[in-house]
Chain A
Amino acid sequence: MGAGHGHVLYRESDSPVHRLPPEVKIVAMVVFTIAVVATPREAFWAFGAYALLVAVVAALARVGPRWLLSRALIELPFVLFAVALPFLGAGERVEVLGLRLSEDGLHGAWNILAKGTLGVLASLLLAATTTTRDLIVGLDRLHCPQVLTQIATFMLRYLDVLVGEARRMRVARISRGDDPRFLWQLRGFAAGIGALFLRAFERGERVYLAMLSRGYTGRMPAVWQGDGAATTGQWLVAATVPVVAASIAATAVVLT
């Protein structure tokens, strides 16, 4: 059930970006990220151009900046690492606001911040416009080995089973007089983690056997494939983003 629907990050909409086939979006996103990472960190203007590119795609996908930026907080631990770098780095020191900071460290912090943020924004855009089911269809069309797509399909499918079982076990505990507050809920959860795994497995095994008896062969049926593979036109449309990114990166490499 769950696999057919979107995940928490999916934004239901009917924008041009949503309509693009998933394999096209995956390739565009990966190439864009590689171009960003390959850009020399001194080319500040290039990162501004990338940000503009992300903003254009976000506008086309009808994803608001507030949604995008609040979800981007996932990279917070790395920002903290970046903040530490100017103090830890070796080499030339420069005075900034009365602090003696490592110049190399400052560059490093900027590097992580800029490239990390752009990468997170790109994957958030992919997530916002692609359901998990489409993602797997896309990986399958990109000739990802079937073993991997099979594991990924079951993983996404069983996540809901796992969450459902955990909820049922919690209700069962509470209805038997367990009244945990705040952190003490963890104790009951930790004690039951083995049972949770087993219950989820047995439910998952039934799901799997039901799939087998309905003709599952390790690959999802053609219905899943939706509108069919990407056309040349769609590839060309989606290629604009990685091509622009790659030319920005190439210019930056030449200039620095």
Chain B
Amino acid sequence: METLAMHISNGIINGPVAAVFAALALAALTFCVLRARRDLDDRLAPMAGLVAAFIFAVQMLNFPIFTAGVSGHLLGGALAAMLVGPWVGALCVAVVLVVQALIFGDGGVAMLGLNITNMALLGTAAAYLLIALLLRVLPRTPAGLAVTAFVAAMLSVVVASQGFVVQYWLGGTTDLGGNLAGLAGTMAGVHLLIGIGEGLITATTVLTVAKVRPDLVYALRSLRTPAAPVVPVAGGVR
């Protein structure tokens, strides 16, 4: 059984593929920076920082999955997409990954492009597409919002894990022969379990924030009636 955490460390994927993905990630992040400048106002700036801090803390929680000998962790892409939008959200996850690689040695610096592509870009994009779709389809109730957050978080983790499988197929340093399908299956299965944990945390957090401070949830902005001015409520008063 393979043992993988989500952060790819140096030497797992070969240099050329890592370089291609680094260029890809750099281009995508540049685009995100341009779009994020428009989004980042006085309310979103501290929120982006907190979301990044939250993701940073949450990624430290590793889920040991004993049967498969695998440990994985939460990604936080869905939470970021929900609370600060796809552009700032992707940047939040990317910042977390850069800081982890630079000072904690978690995920190789040379593999940053791969990690950012999987977790910051793929994960957040998948989550945001699902959120946009589900918020339109599902009823506009707290339950609908919770289901949206749960499903988006769960599936985005699985999508991100499959990003690694594609990268391994393109440039894995060791030929696994016919085991690639096995790798894909293990990754998907394990991350489905992680996704459930991620979904629960995302749904609880988003639901609480949406109840008390709906103005803070980016994904709900477009659905709100523009007339109602938002009064920030201090504390847990509702």
> Interface of A with B (CB < 8 Å)?
7, 9, 26, 29-30, 33-34, 36-38, 41, 71-72, 74-75, 77-78, 80-81, 84-85, 88-91, 104-105, 107-109, 111-116, 118-124, 126-127, 130, 132, 135, 145, 147-148, 150-159, 161-163, 190, 193-195, 197-198, 200-202, 204-205, 207-208, 212, 218
Contacts and interface: CB of A to CB of B under 8 A. Distances in A.
A130 B2 CA distance: 35
B50 interface: yes
30 contacts: A26-B102, A36-B110, A37-B10, A37-B15, A41-B173, A71-B105, A77-B4, A78-B3, A78-B9, A81-B4, A84-B1, A84-B3, A88-B179, A90-B178, A119-B11, A119-B108, A121-B105, A147-B36, A150-B40, A153-B49, A155-B92, A156-B53, A157-B53, A162-B50, A162-B53, A190-B201, A190-B204, A193-B204, A195-B236, A201-B213
A230 B107 CA distance: 28
B224 interface: no
Contacts of A158: 46, 49-50, 52-53
Contacts of A154: 45-46, 48-50, 52-53
Given A36-B10, A84-B3, A108 B173 contact: yes
Interface of B: 1-5, 9-12, 15, 18, 33, 36-37, 40, 42, 45-50, 52-54, 56-57, 69, 71, 88, 91-92, 94-96, 98-99, 101-106, 108-111, 173-179, 200-201, 204-209, 212-213, 216, 234-236
Contacts, number: 230
Contacts of A120: 9, 105
A158 B200 CA distance: 23
B177 A9 contact: no
A194 B52 contact: no
Among B12, B102, B108, B174, the one with the most A-chain Cβ atoms within 10 Å of its Cβ is B174
A202 B233 CA distance: 10
Nearest to B14: A37
Contacts of A108: 173-174
Contact of A198 (B109, B173, B200, B236): B236
A203 to B, nearest CB: 9
Given A75-B105, A89-B176, A152 B11 contact: no
